[in-house]
Structure 1
Amino acid sequence: MEILLKRAYEPAAPSDGTRVLVDRLWPRGVSRERAALDDWAKEVAPSAELRTEWHHDPDGHSPEHFAAFAARYRAELSAGAALAGLDRLVALARSVPRVTLVYGAKDPVRNHAVVLRDALRDRAEQTGPGLSGAH
């Protein structure tokens, strides 16, 4: 099983497998047809508060700031609807050969989908057989 990452602005491909949008907001300018999504997991996206802080911080996307964002986002993923959504995505990833987490962020290295992919792998290890995959 694989978990891949892809920007919503990149064309969908059959090799993406099951495509899941992991943003709370729909990507601007992307039609539903072009997105070619199989699922929209809003519940695992960062909270509106965390997303706003991340986008409006004067430090920008520095490694230190990203580490702080990632820690807060991981905390959000550890309870309530976000944890239930995380478990749902783990089950999905176990049931298909490949899942692609689709996101709208510009930075392919420092974004919430990277944190979410790692959280999914960690959760899968905690609850059973692990997941693999690359970017």
Structure 2
Amino acid sequence: MELHKIESLLEKYFEGETSVAEENQLKDYFSSAGVAPEMEPYRPMFAYFKQAKAETAHKTFELPAMKTNRVAWLSIAASAVVLLGVGLMFFNRPQSQDLGTFDDPEVAFRETQKALDLLSGNVNKGIQGMQYVQEYEDVKTSVFPSK
């Protein structure tokens, strides 16, 4: 085979652009006796590829048998748990809620006062927290005046 053609095939081979037929031409060339002296360094590489292709595994591997009975029972148990959870969610929800209707106006007034006192206390806590933020802003502007 022409040396120039082998060089171009090797270049294509190392670029990953050869076809299977071209790779077979290279393997045949490097396994023949007429390899050019400047191409001798590539001969062991192609000999290795030929040898590696011929190798086969002699040890047999057996995969453990899958216990289908166990898997079936686990899937049935998981389905039962899901169905039980969904059933409990639907059957245990409250039918109707008494949202605080009062027949006596005095009781309604006292309960409303309690709710408003609770709300007022929480709002006052929030305002106190904002005072700290305001102090922080005042100190920040005194240390870092805006431009």
TM-score by length of 2: 0.21
Query: Which has the bigger relative contact order, CA under 8 A and spacing at least 6?
Result: 1
More strand per residue: 1 or 2?
A: 1
**If you compute each CA radius of gyration, which structure gives the higher value, 1 or 2?**
2
Give TM-score, length-normalised by structure 1: 0.22
